[in-house]
Structures are given as structure tokens and as C-alpha cells.
Amino acid sequence: MMINKVVFDGQALAIEDICSIARQQATVELDQHAEFITRIDKGALFIDRLLQEEGVVYGVTTGYGDSCTVPVPLSQVGELPKHLYTFHGCGLGAHFDAPTTRAILAARLTSLARGYSGVRYKLLQQLATLLQHDILPLIPQEGSVGASGDLTPLSYVAAVLAGGREVVYQGEQQSTATVFARLNLEPLALKPKEGLAIMNGTAAMTGIACLAYQRAAYLSQLATRITSLVSVALQGNAYHFDEKLFSVKPHPGQNRVAERIRADLQLTQSAPRHDARLQDRYSLRCAPHIIGVLEDSLPWLRQFIETELNSANDNPIIDAEGEHVLHGGHFYGGHIAFAMDSLKTAVANLADLMDRQMAQLMDPKFNHGLPANLSGANPEVAMLNHGFKALQIAVSAWTAEALKLTMPASVFSRSTECHNQDKVSMGTIAARDCIRILELTEQVAIACLLAAVQGVELRGNTDALSPSLKTTIAQLREHSPFLSSDRALEQELRVGLGLIREQYWQLYG
């Protein structure tokens, strides 16, 4: 596997950069040029000068949030960052896994490297060190309303930079102090604006969103390949994906899905028309229209996510060049919230589509001559075998759970923090919901892939299939043999899930 290098130099990064770091497919490097170091440090020096002049800066010489009217004496200013990450140490729920934690760290480093947060280059070095040594703060998933940023999750990052709380290092949960001592790393004493700069941003939801985007884009292609296999298994009408037909409704993503299915089914404009059935059921005939919604959403979802990723999204913004402290609300995660609420609906529709396709494959009333439940048993023992019957039930359960989670989180804003945070984004909840829907839809996908391949093989004449479909079948059969008699499928499903998440199947260019 090729290892890339991602350089944090204040220039824009892509979703793929964050995902590569998250999956340890890229190394992290912080720009060491003097010009970059000077530009970053200039903001921190400006804050120092304001303090010497006894300027009033939110979160530096005042309390936080509704407490912004409470002045902090200069003699106590140095203690404020520690108090900030300390009292926010109240997260609960499961902890983010290693890839997600790396994505969160990378997202925060991307934003701070823009140079508008009033932090030292030394702070960026400390964040980069965590990624370079794979020292991962133990971050609870629950406790952020998505404005003022991801305060509680990111407090665990701030605390670890300062040598506190716990991390996962080399697969073990350990105290940060122990790991730092082992690696001869110095805890960072956070300067006045630095605690706020780390915590008052959208890094948790944005890091999650990067991972969600990439998983969804792959699922779109996998659902397309599964549709092609199901069409073969059900002896579907391939001309539902005709090029001329789709030219009159020119959604680009929808047409891209139809084009992929045409290629899988080896359908060309010059091919003779043999429409075995005039019209297939919607889960085949309308598959490009369903998958196409996600495909057509990907460009604007990328725009939302990457713009947020490459923004200065804390408060206040420090304009060291113009010597301004700009108080605003860039911590608000509304764009990520909307993107994740939208993405989770599009992905859940893939689960629903594949669930309906599987229902057709199982049922002899609709599967055009395939055995009930796709059983591959010999006639002598057919009465004992139940094929994919239980797996279809499981697919229905996973689909229902995915659909239930599509309720938008962004409309559930709650007024909090003495009505200072009276309208919040709920972006992190939306992103977490999206990940769960992706997990469930991936489970549906591997189950439907097993069933579709079984159906194709039961139909016979696999030699006539396109090279792309033959490749998918061969890749699956390396890990899961034909179901000729009942067996527990859990381990094969788990292996297949891992392969989906590694993007193992060769799909479309």
C-alpha cells in the first residue's frame, strides 16, 4: 500500500487527505518554512501585546460564553485555558474509534494552520506530534450541540496536548502523562487563546463528515453493482437503463449510475432488443433514480465539507495582519449539520432499495423461477434448508433501523448555556447518526451482495457475464462459498463488512 504525505501549510486540503490520515495511508508533516512559522506565531504575539496593553479579548481576559461579562485579572489569565478544558471534561457514550480520532485531530490542525486563531506554531507542532506518533486522545462521542463548536469532544484534545487525561497508544489505553514520559514529549502549557482555539471549532463533526462522505461515495458504487447483479438474477429488462431513455432526464449522477449498469449488463445502442418483460418493479427500474440522488449530491456535499474543513472556525478570529480581534460565530456547524442530515437520508434510501431488491430475490412469486430464499440445496434435502430466509429478516431489521435514524438532527436545536447558545447546529449528532446509518447500510449491502451472487449462480450461464460482474463474483467467492446447505453466515458477513470498509471490491473508475 502506497503511503502518501499530507503537508499542513495553511493551504486547502481535500476530504481524501483527511481520510488517508485517518486510515494511516498518509503521513503527516507540518510546514517548517520560516515564513509559515512567522505567520502562525504572529497571531499569538498579537494576543500577547493586547494583554500587555490590558486589552479586552473574549476568552482571554473574560470568562466563556454567557460569562463573557466576567473579567479575568491578568494575573489569572494563564489559568483560564486549563479551566476551560477541565470543566468540559464531561463527555459520555462510546469513545471515537482510532480512524475517527485521527480525522478529528487532522481537521483541527487544518483549521488552525489557516493562521487566524491566535495560537503558536508550537501548538501546531504538538497536534502534529500526536498524529505522527499515533497518540490518540480518548474522546467520548456524546456531549456536543455543534455550537459553540465541538467544545466537549475537543476538550479531550486540549487536555491531552497539555499532558492530561487518557490516550490510546499502541492499542492500549494509557494516561497521557505515561505516554509522553515514555516518548520524551513535553506537555504544552496552553497560552491564553489556545484552549479556546482548540475547542471552539467544528473539528469533530467535520472529521466525521470526511469519513462519512468517502464511505457513502463507495456505497453508491456498490449499490449500483448489486443492482446489476440483481437484474441478471431476476432476468430483468436491461433496457430500463437505455442511454436514449436517460438522455431526456439529464441529472448527471443519475445518468452516471445508468451508464455503469449498462456497462455491467453489456447493453449497447446497437444491441438487439429482447424485452422479456415490459416493466420491472421499481427497485430495479428506478435504481438509477434512487442511487442517482446520492451521486448528484456528492459535489455539493464535498463543497460544504471541504469549505468547513479549510476554514478558520473558532471565535474570536485573530487578524494579526490588520491587528483586529473579530468576534463572531464561525464555530457554528450548520453546513456540516445540513450535509450530514442530507447524506444520511440519501444513504438510508440505498438500504431501502437493496432491501426491496433482496425481497424480490427471495420470493418465488416475484423471482421468476429461482428457488425460494435462494436455497442451493439438492432436492433430497431441500425441505431441511432455508437458504437466505433469516438473512432477509436481518436485512429488514437493519433497514428499518437505518430509516428510523433519518430524522434530521439539525431541527432539534436547544437553547442552552443561559440562552447564550440559544440556537445551535446539532452537527455532531447529525454526523454520528450518519455514520450509524452507513454502518447499517453496509450491513444491508454485504447481505444483498451474497444473495445477488447466489441468485446469479443459480440462474446459470455465468460465462456470458460481463468482465466486471465476473470479477465481483470471483472476489466474493474468495471469502464466501456458494450456499449449498444451511450454515451460519455471521463470520462471512463480518469479513465482507470489513472488505466493504476497505473498499476491496473493484467497482467503477
Is residue 95 within 8 A of residue 138, CB to CB? The reply is yes
Length of the chain: 509
SS3 state at 236: coil
Question: Smallest Cα–Cα separation from 43: which of 215, 256, 243, 196?
Answer: 196
The C-alpha atoms of residue 194 and residue 200 are separated, in whole angstroms, by: 10
Residues labelled catalytic: 58
The C-alpha atoms of residue 244 and residue 13 are separated, in whole angstroms, by: 39
The C-alpha atoms of residue 205 and residue 176 are separated, in whole angstroms, by: 24
At 178, the amino acid letter reads: T
At 323, the amino acid letter reads: E
Q: Residue by residue, what is the 3-state secondary structure of 269-307?
A: CCCCCCCCCCCCCHHHHCHHHHHHHHHHHHHHHHHHHHH
Let me know if 393 is exposed, middle or buried by CB neighbors in 10 A (0-12, 13-18, 19+). exposed
Q: How many CB atoms lie within 10 A of CB 53?
A: 7
Is residue 115 within 8 A of residue 40, CB to CB? The reply is yes
Question: Would residue 59 be called left, alpha or beta, if left means φ above 0 and alpha means ψ between -120 and 50 degrees?
Answer: left
